[in-house]
A and B are shown apart, each in its own frame.
Chain A
Amino acid sequence: MKTVYKLSIALGLMAVFGLTVVACSSTKGNYTDVPNDEVAETEFKLEKSGAQLWGETCNRCHIAPSPSDYNDTDWETISLHMRIRANLTEHESKKIEEFLKSAN
């Protein structure tokens, strides 16, 4: 196998990854100043509920679990496990965990 070919693929991957990290290093979550109530209201409307994220996220691999199948402590463990295993964002896993604990 051509070493140059392998290196170019590896460098390409690293470049994509690096650019992504740089691009994502400044997110809107860092901007805490909300200019006015109208914007705040829009932001609030865009926020997805834990129930919505539960339906969208869990179903990507398996049927979304029934909240009543586990207690709060179990859901904390499962949420942490699934956050890592399914590569979920911290926001997704926390919102889903809150929903599952509120609906069980």
Chain B
Amino acid sequence: MKKLFTIITIFVLGGTLYGQTYNTFEPSKTQFMLRGYGHTGFEYMDSGDETESTFLGSAFAPIFLYKHSDRLMFEAELEFALEGDELETGLEYADVMYVLNKNMTVRAGKFLLPFGTFMERLHPAWINRLPNAPLGYGHDGIAPSSGIGVELRGAFDLGGPKLNYSVYSTNGPRIKDGSEEPEEAGILEFENYEDTNLAKAFGGRIGLLPFSDSSTEIGFSAYSTSGTGEQDSDFEDIGAFLYALDFSLVKQIPGLGGIVDAKAQYNSSNVDTATFIEMHEDGDEEEYSFDNQSNSFYGQVSYRPTMSGSNFVKNLEFVARYSDFNAPEGAEWEEKSKQYAFGLNYWLSWRSVVKLSYQTTETEGGHDGDGITNTDGLFLHWAIGF
């Protein structure tokens, strides 16, 4: 009995000691992370003839990160949003990345395009200081946001100043020929992930941070393709060239008692002139063409009084933004718009913000007609990153 008791004791304690010795719960070499962001809110819009107010269904954007090694990683972002009575889903990006050396990384798959900085770095709801994007971005915008292809990117330390670069090739955009939506003939559609011709788009961005405190960045982006139409169609050889200039300044200024954040980006789109067909109500067809050049601009300044003695005031942020968008004269979607936006934010944490914003937009032309439309909007949004 005594021997049996001794054996059982050794077995039990030995197992425990063995477990304590070898189950160190060290992290695995590979790691999977779930990050992302979500937002919800309330909006009131008044366009003169029409007013509307609505609570917004939550939008949810999970980001999946898989770190295979110190060099190899996969990232993907899904988007879920309630639009009307339906759940809209989307794949924002999904790409694999490999660090080739300290100055170069290769990415392949669907990735956010470094055309300027807004869509690649600043558009997530918990980063964007205002509830929506400036004019010229998003649906019918002229700035490409993502593409499927391959990219080389990296950065250099110039002994104080820094330089970053990106060069890529993607399937490229598709020009809307007007056969399905005559009022949008000539618009470049970037959400075109199956290539319809042999032409690829080539682009890149160079960013320079001239000061050692990295407070300022200026960037130049270009995006070009020799063909935007379907193969063997009249639009096959319609090329496009787009470029963007961007600027960023983020600096704590003791004299102002806080951090000033200024951002700006100018986008220009130049598409080869093409001939489209306009269908009249009586059934007659008429050919027309126009100089297909568009541009947009936004400038934004925000200020956080981070040096205030009050914790409440420290978390406040004041924002102002101007943006405009000019679509080509003679197009069915001819438009000149200006928007002024003002906001007051309260940061609950570094990644959760409540945004109160007033925006007024003047639109001349556009899809809604030839006249001038003034739209005022009041937005209350709550965004969180995780």
For chain B, residues 47 to 91, give those with C-beta under 8 angstroms from any C-beta of chain A: 65, 67, 70, 73, 75
**Per-residue interface assignment for chain A, residues 61 to 96, with 1 indicating a CB less than 8 Å from any chain B CB and 0 otherwise:** 111111000001110111011011111111110000
| A-binding segment of B99-107, B138-146, B366-374 | B99-107
A84:B153 contact, CB within 8 angstroms: yes
For chain A, residues 9 to 30, give those with C-beta under 8 angstroms from any C-beta of chain B: 9-10, 13, 16-17, 20, 24, 27-29
The answer to whether B202 has its CB under 8 Å from any CB of chain A is yes
The answer to whether B27 has its CB under 8 Å from any CB of chain A is yes
B153:A24 contact, CB within 8 angstroms: no
B33:A88 contact, CB within 8 angstroms: no
B347:A63 contact, CB within 8 angstroms: yes
A20:B156 contact, CB within 8 angstroms: yes
A76:B156 contact, CB within 8 angstroms: no
Partner of A17, one of B70, B126, B206, B270: B206
Give chain B residues whose Cβ lies under 8 Å from the Cβ of A86: 121
A17:B67 contact, CB within 8 angstroms: no
The answer to whether B163 has its CB under 8 Å from any CB of chain A is yes
Which of B31, B105, B120, B157 is most buried by chain A, counting CB atoms within 10 A of its CB? Answer: B157
Give chain B residues whose Cβ lies under 8 Å from the Cβ of A38: none
A62:B126 contact, CB within 8 angstroms: yes
A17 to B65, CA, bound (A): 30
The answer to whether B19 has its CB under 8 Å from any CB of chain A is no
Partner of A10, one of B31, B153, B224: B224
User: 6 shortest A-B CB distances, which residue pairs?
Assistant: A87-B164, A73-B27, A63-B350, A90-B102, A24-B156, A77-B67
Additional 17 contacts, C-beta under 8 A, given A60-B214, A77-B33, A89-B156: A9-B222, A13-B204, A17-B206, A20-B163, A29-B157, A56-B214, A56-B215, A62-B127, A64-B350, A65-B351, A72-B27, A73-B27, A81-B73, A87-B165, A90-B103, A91-B157, A92-B162
